[in-house]
Structure 1
Amino acid sequence: MFTTKVDEFVAHNGPKITYSKTALGTEFFIRSHDLLFEQGINDIDINVASWDEVPCFFQAGETSSIPFDIFAASFYLISRYEEYLPHVKDMHDRFPVEESIAYKNGFLEKPVIDIWALKFLEQLKNKFPNYEYSNREFKLISTIDVDTAFAYKHKGIVRTVGGFFNDFVHFRFLNIWNRLLTLLNFKKDHFNTFQELLKIKTEYSVTTLFFFLIGDYTTFDKNISSANSKFKSLIKSVADYAKIGLQPSYFSFKNVDKLKKEKLRLENIINTPIRFSRQHFLRLSIPETYQHLIDIDIEEDYTMGYANAVGFRASTCTPFYFYDLDFEIQTPLKIFSFAIMDISLKENMQLTNEESFVKIQKLKQEVKNVNGTFISLFHNQTLSENSNWKGWTTIYKNMVID
């Protein structure tokens, strides 16, 4: 029960928590910061301190039962308040990791909100030992982005000839040989790893979601044409064994008409409503992108993460509903933050296979410590075992084993 009436609060005999500037008695007291009582977006000074070696901010003073306002700090991080503030965007018009409070203060790779919640629970147990609390279980969700379903096949005559020419002028003669063998059906297209992914899904009972890029061809969107019958057949066959989501194209993140068009296109292929998505190139502009996803009845989004770093962009490994600060409302769009992306580890962070797996296991353990949801982002080509991704099938298998 929540109340703002002092007489009702005093009369209650059960466990009580005060969230205000001053305590009313000997109840559990959390001294409030002004943030949750304000309207609009304001530039707020953040001074990061420590709560038993866990980073925290919005300090509450000695009279508070815990040393900071856990509710305001959690809201600041999970609402992505800092992404509404003025900042310099990166080359893809994204909020850069370097601008985040978590990165600047060294806690990006820790789900601090979940850590705070567990520490808060321990304090409540000490104060109210007879009160019963529910527990949750660790979950793992593997998400697969399908930016390019095939390396060589089903790309049409113009793109195929262009591919041969491009390999030739760059002296990539092995590529020419592999491309030729694949097109003549002497060799399997090495990006076509869908049977292997589905086999791993079944063998290890892994919750696996596939996100198909189905937008028109552009400089940044280079998947097979959505009109290609082989591509349609692939999507349908994957949909028989796993859930399918939309990967909106590069130029759709502020364009609701493109979003509608691409969502309808994918729904017509699998004859099922599309309920979840992840933006291509992780292009996310808060709140516009989320507002557009809500407009087209997307219920879950998996874009929350960084391209150039691993960790927890919203400082949590728990799915949450997007709160729109523009309209001051909780929306029906549920946000699922991923902790690691294959390309981040290998290409952007330049880690070796061994270093990548150590980083994956470290972040997975952080999530296990708080019984959260560990979400990975891989691509179909990551399991190709070609020269770029040698050994990554083993990394993927070892990651999904609990």
Structure 2
Amino acid sequence: MSLFTHAALNWLCIILQERFGLCFNLQPNQQGLILTLSEHEQGSIFFPRLENRFHQCRSALPFTEWNATAERWESVCGDSLPAPGVASLPKPLIERRADQAIVHYDILGLTYWMLSRLEEVGRTDLDNHQRFPATSSHAYQHGYLERPIVDEWLHILGQVIRQIWPQLPLKKHQFSIKVSHDVDTPSRYGFRSVKGIVRSMAGDVLKRRDIKSALVAPWIRLNNRHRLHPLDTFNTFDWIMEQSERNGLVSAFYFICGRTDPAKDADYEPEHPAIGELMQRIHARGHEIGLHPSYKTFQQPEAIAAEADRLRSIMMKESIKQSILGGRMHYLRWEHPTTLKGWEQAGMTYDSSLSYADLPGFRSGTCYEYPAFNPETQEQYKLRIRPLIAMECTVMAERYMGLGTGEAAYAKFQQLKESCRAVNGCFTLLWHNSQFESKEEMVLYQRLLA
């Protein structure tokens, strides 16, 4: 008897259709699941070994690996594939009988468990920002966080599909890069209070030994009424857009439109004339504007919807029209599936929050965008999930990996980028506009876009 609901099977069929470009049917029977095409196409793929563990909200799953190369299958990220959910696998893993293939690993269960983020539902082992940390995940504990294992296993499934239906062409995907920028602080000084300016100037002199910045701070603050000041070190927006345009990319800038925690949220109001002018400039150059819901909204779906409406109102006032509206949660705060409901309720096109703050990698096991699914209610949403692979401070900052801005950081980013390339997926990178204060940071960013 199938462990999947009818809704989950339909969702998996859509994921497979998006990946391979074919319309599949998934039929349960007493032994497992049968994957077929239309009634006019002969052949099937049978999954007799469905794992109950892939339908449980926990990380304590067994683990093994499968040597695909040894069994004459192409593995794109190494000879062996991580195989969560089981302690051992039979040999051969994939059998061929007439016009049917039998796959003795629950690839569809793995896909469901990873993409639905069922592992994260109801978790209490959270960090100081109430986030589910990478270190609590099965992927980290078993060493595959930096591998797109869903994409790797679907690549194996694609080879099986080609054997069963050799006459049908499969959809081809191309590697791509998407860059986005959370606008936490569009100006270093422009929106600060008098007390905040004085504190910043003291920090410039005493901590950073940057007397020049301290001297220009009051001038920037006074001349920020209609446009961000060009001397402001956080005003890197034109430079960011220039780098994207040189590489044929579109930058997405996500703005905070609420203040649920004054200590953690932005010091600007999105209706400010200088922010309106910035949005107009971004739009005029063909880049994207999106939402960065404020700190406490991750547990308040109605607050996410209200802030999305506020952004839409501002964009309407500025005569900015976009066919899509996406974004990312502030501090990557995510309570599953509460936060997901908020994005759906807000009518957003996509969310790109699903990465860990403490470590980079493939939180959902994929670098492909996919339709959102609520594992609690078994509902497929209109919302799309756009996995985030790396945030700059996760790799560079001392409080996380601490790799700095040199070759060690470049190597880590590049490793993740090449893993995305291996599966013809999308390397999605978050880099804050305020994180370009040194030449080393700027050079590192330029190298990653090349």
TM over 0.5: yes
8 Å contact kept, 1:209–1:245: yes
Is it true that 1:16 corresponds to 2:60 in the alignment?
no
Q: Distance in 2 between matches of 1:140 and 1:169?
A: 39
Report the 3-state secondary structure (helix = DSSP H, G, I; strand = E; otherwise coil) of the residue aligned with 2:197: helix
Match of 2:97 in 1: none
Q: Distance in 1 between matches of 2:105 and 2:124?
A: 26
1:270 to 301, 315, 328: 315
Report the 3-state secondary structure (helix = DSSP H, G, I; strand = E; otherwise coil) of the residue aligned with 1:381: coil
Is it true that 1:76 corresponds to 2:113 in the alignment?
yes
CA root-mean-square deviation? 2.8
Deviation at 1:392, TM superposition (A): 1.5
Is it true that 1:350 corresponds to 2:406 in the alignment?
no
Match of 1:224 in 2: 268
Report the 3-state secondary structure (helix = DSSP H, G, I; strand = E; otherwise coil) of the residue aligned with 1:363: helix
Match of 1:34 in 2: 52
Q: Distance in 2 between matches of 1:50 and 1:209?
A: 38
Q: Distance in 1 between matches of 2:393 and 2:29?
A: 53
2:253 to 210, 220, 223: 210
Q: Distance in 1 between matches of 2:304 and 2:250?
A: 26
Letter in 2 for 1:151: R
Could you tell which deviates more after superposition, 371-380 or 125-134? Answer: 125-134
Match of 1:179 in 2: 217
Match of 1:198 in 2: 241
Report the 3-state secondary structure (helix = DSSP H, G, I; strand = E; otherwise coil) of the residue aligned with 1:382: coil
- CA deviations 1:197-253 (Å, max 9, x no partner) are 111222221122111123237100133233422122212222222111000010111
Match of 1:391 in 2: 440
8 Å contact kept, 1:256–1:292: yes
Deviation at 1:129, TM superposition (A): 3.8
Match of 2:148 in 1: 111
Q: Distance in 2 between matches of 1:398 and 1:180?
A: 34
Q: Distance in 1 between matches of 2:58 and 2:271?
A: 48
Q: Distance in 1 between matches of 2:250 and 2:105?
A: 37
Deviation at 1:294, TM superposition (A): 0.8
Is it true that 1:373 corresponds to 2:417 in the alignment?
no
Deviation at 1:163, TM superposition (A): 3.5
1:1-400 superposed matches below 5 A: 2=25, 3=27, 14-19=42-47, 21=48, 31-34=49-52, 41=56, 43=58, 46-52=61-67, 53-59=80-86, 61-62=90-91, 65=94, 66-164=103-201, 174=211, 175-180=213-218, 182-183=220-221, 188-216=231-259, 218-241=262-285, 242-271=287-316, 272=321, 275-347=325-397, 348-352=400-404, 353-383=406-436, 386=437, 389-400=438-449
Deviation at 1:44, TM superposition (A): 7.4
CA 1:284–1:68 in 2, change beyond 3 Å: closer, same or farther? same
Q: Distance in 2 between matches of 1:87 and 1:184?
A: 46
8 Å contact kept, 1:248–1:279: yes
8 Å contact kept, 1:321–1:330: yes
Deviation at 1:302, TM superposition (A): 0.5
Structure 2 residue runs of 5 or longer lacking an equivalent are 1-23, 31-35, 68-79, 95-102, 224-228
CA 1:197–1:97 in 2, change beyond 3 Å: closer, same or farther? same
Report the 3-state secondary structure (helix = DSSP H, G, I; strand = E; otherwise coil) of the residue aligned with 2:372: strand
Deviation at 1:15, TM superposition (A): 2.3
Q: Distance in 1 between matches of 2:41 and 2:217?
A: 75
Q: Distance in 2 between matches of 1:218 and 1:225?
A: 12
8 Å contact kept, 2:305–2:342: no
Q: Distance in 2 between matches of 1:198 and 1:149?
A: 14
8 Å contact kept, 1:79–1:323: yes
Report the 3-state secondary structure (helix = DSSP H, G, I; strand = E; otherwise coil) of the residue aligned with 2:252: strand
CA 1:355–1:44 in 2, change beyond 3 Å: closer, same or farther? closer
Report the 3-state secondary structure (helix = DSSP H, G, I; strand = E; otherwise coil) of the residue aligned with 1:380: coil
Deviation at 1:306, TM superposition (A): 0.8
- CA deviations 1:23-61 (Å, max 9, x no partner) are xxxxxxxx322357x6xx455752111112111133464
Report the 3-state secondary structure (helix = DSSP H, G, I; strand = E; otherwise coil) of the residue aligned with 1:218: coil
Q: Distance in 2 between matches of 1:44 and 1:354?
A: 33
Could you tell which deviates more after superposition, 220-229 or 181-190? Answer: 181-190
8 Å contact kept, 1:58–1:68: no
CA 1:295–1:184 in 2, change beyond 3 Å: closer, same or farther? closer
TM-score by length of 1: 0.86
CA 1:197–1:34 in 2, change beyond 3 Å: closer, same or farther? same
Letter in 1 for 2:442: T
Letter in 1 for 2:377: F
8 Å contact kept, 2:191–2:267: no
Match of 1:26 in 2: none
Deviation at 1:178, TM superposition (A): 4.6
Structure 1 residue runs of 5 or longer lacking an equivalent are 22-30
8 Å contact kept, 1:51–1:67: no
- CA deviations 1:149-199 (Å, max 9, x no partner) are 001124344533453466678696635235246457797101001111111
Match of 1:24 in 2: none
Q: Distance in 2 between matches of 1:225 and 1:5?
A: 57
8 Å contact kept, 1:33–1:72: yes
8 Å contact kept, 1:58–1:72: no
